[in-house]
Structure 1
Amino acid sequence: MAEYTIAVLVGSLRKESINRRLARALEKLAAGRARFDFVEIGDLPLYNQDFDADYPAQGKRLKQQIRGADAVLFVTPEYNRSVPGVLKNAIDIGSRPYGHSAFAGKPAAVIGASIGVIGTALAQQHLRNILAYLDMPVLGQPEAFLHFKEGLIDEAGTISNAGTQEFLQGFVDRFLTLVAVHGKGA
């Protein structure tokens, strides 16, 4: 299997983000098969249609990273039963102007962690609706709504629970299969 480049958008800017920990864990599970390229979204200005004529440097960088990747991994928390504004803003910048989306056709996967019992189920459903509009083939199964408890994944991405590690390995394996089907050279 080829090594793929996966653009990773983490929807949390928090320094101690549990979703960043989750992304690091997935990166370890994909080692040797995929390189994760973490996309900075915290420095993006709020999307404004005036950008369509002349994108700011941060927006150009984001679009270049997405276009240079074979696939996109969205790792999102859930804020008020939806997608965090910073992640939605990054998607808006990367997909505009109409007809020039950096996301179109890129295989994608959605995952997230929360301290809440339902994980990030509602945010992920909203995100899946957005990604369908952006013409991204999205991994349907397994769905992964991780109920995060302290110690489950450390800052380096080490998973402490064997069952969780096995489940997440399956998620990564299925995602990379999707990338092989829809990614470069497919």
Structure 2
Amino acid sequence: MTMNILAICGSLRAKSTNRGLLRYAQANAPEGTKIHIADILDVPFYNADLAAKPAAVELLLKQLAQADALLLACPEYNYSMAPALKNALDWASREPDNHLLSGKAVAIMGAGGGMGTSRAQYHLRQVCVYLNLYPLNQPEVFANAFSGSFDTDGNLTDERIQGLIVKQLSALQKWALQLKK
């Protein structure tokens, strides 16, 4: 059986270094694992007054329902998580009984300034508590987006971080299987 991991990037930029982390993860997924990268570009801000869910939201919710685990690339904006990522989680959290998120394993990674995205990842972990998501504790993936670890297209070139991602994916696969027992 193939484990399906849904990856969501909090940055909407095509050449985002956070998207680059997810592309690397997708290309280097462990055997028995498939990583799908969600496109949240057209997901509007959550609004309970909308009569119907927009098509982009419906697609995201369908992808979340099919996911065995999540991989979140968390940029840091003003010492916190990016609004696009938080918004995607907000839409999913409004489903009855939080059934799309509750109990799922999640791995978090991020590329940002001097401290990677450590502050944003900490905020994201707080949100995970409320959503009953189970974040993987280690290995943590923090990348400095401005240190030469990425090429001009946002692709990861740093071998140390590449190794951490491979380890994180393996740990996520094991964590997700353990939680399903």
**Quick check: TM above 0.5?**
yes
> Counterpart amino acid of 2:167?
G
| Larger mean Cα displacement after TM superposition, 143-152 or 118-127 | 143-152
Equivalent position of 1:107 in the other structure: 105
Q: How does 1:41-56 map to 2 (within 5 A)?
A: 41-51=40-50, 54-56=52-54
Alpha-carbon deviation of 1:121?
Answer: 0.4
Alpha-carbon deviation of 1:132?
Answer: 1.2
Q: How many residues align?
A: 180
Alpha-carbon deviation of 1:151?
Answer: 4.7
- Structure 2 counterpart of 1:58, from 52, 56, 61: 56
Conserved 8 A contact 2:19-2:154: no
Q: Which runs of 5+ in 1 are unaligned?
A: none
Q: How does 1:21-40 map to 2 (within 5 A)?
A: 21-40=20-39
Equivalent position of 1:20 in the other structure: 19
> Counterpart amino acid of 1:44?
V
Conserved 8 A contact 2:71-2:107: yes
User: What is the RMSD of the two structures over their aligned residues, measured on CA atoms?
Assistant: 2.0
> Counterpart amino acid of 1:18?
T
Equivalent position of 1:8 in the other structure: 7
Q: Which runs of 5+ in 2 are unaligned?
A: none
> Counterpart amino acid of 2:39?
E
Query: Which structure shows the higher strand fraction?
Result: 2
State the percentage of identical aligned residues.
Answer: 34
Conserved 8 A contact 1:22-1:153: no
Q: How does 1:73-92 map to 2 (within 5 A)?
A: 73-92=71-90
Write the distance in 1 (CA, Å) between the matches of 2:72 and 2:145. Answer: 17
- CA 1:85/1:8 → structure 2, altered by over 3 Å: closer, same or farther? same
Matched, 1:129 2:150: no
Write the distance in 2 (CA, Å) between the matches of 1:63 and 1:7. Answer: 11
TM-score (norm 1): 0.87
Equivalent position of 2:141 in the other structure: 144
> Counterpart amino acid of 1:104?
S
Equivalent position of 1:167 in the other structure: 164
TM-score (norm 2): 0.89
> Counterpart amino acid of 1:95?
S
Conserved 8 A contact 1:101-1:134: no
